[in-house]
Amino acid sequence: MKGDYKLLTDVQLANLLDQQDKAAFEEIYRRYWAVLYGFARKMLQDNEQAKDIVQDTFTKLYIQIGVLNFQQINIAPYLYTLVRNAVITYINRNKLKINYISSFQEYVNAGEYVTDNQVLENEMQRQIDQEIASLPPKMREVFELSRKANLSRKEIAETTQLSEETVKKQIYNALKILRTRLKSYFF
């Protein structure tokens, strides 16, 4: 009997599918598996995934026996459409995975560890503040007026009752001391 199914047209096989004839399904499977696999393989360039998609396509077809009216469907275009849609879905899911992995990899490669950076920045600021606090009192006052209050040398001289030259020398000496003390910390 199976030999007789090879002689049937797709329309005749569709009629038999509507009668829930499993042998008709088997003939459609034998007739279209290789061509659908080639179609999927050409689009995917992946043998195993192409096999999976074709197998899933025939599983969907089998599930539709007794549900779908196959007399109104051309079997070949229907199967090609199922395979094409499955391939498109697979590619879109794969792109999403690739984009997610790529995005995550970029994040890791960038080395942006906000918490670590914040901790380092806080530690650095604490060390700088500690070194400024250890400067001689008048030098510290001049330096803080220069760097924290953003006053000019002339304004600092007027505020502290020092000459502009003394203010300039105090700022220079404060920077020299700070560079020396913080050099090992930064480098």
Q: Specify the domain boundaries for CATH 1.10.10.10 within the chain.
A: 114-186
Q: Specify the domain boundaries for CATH 1.10.1740.10 within the chain.
A: 2-110
Kindly report the pTM of this predicted structure.
0.53
pLDDT tens by residue, 3-56: 688 888 888 988 898 888 899 999 999 999 999 999 999 988 889 999 999 999
Place of tokens 């950076």: 117
CATH class of residue range 2-110: mainly alpha
CATH class of residue range 114-186: mainly alpha
Q: Note whether 132 and 140 are within 8 A (CB).
A: yes
Q: Note whether 139 and 174 are within 8 A (CB).
A: yes
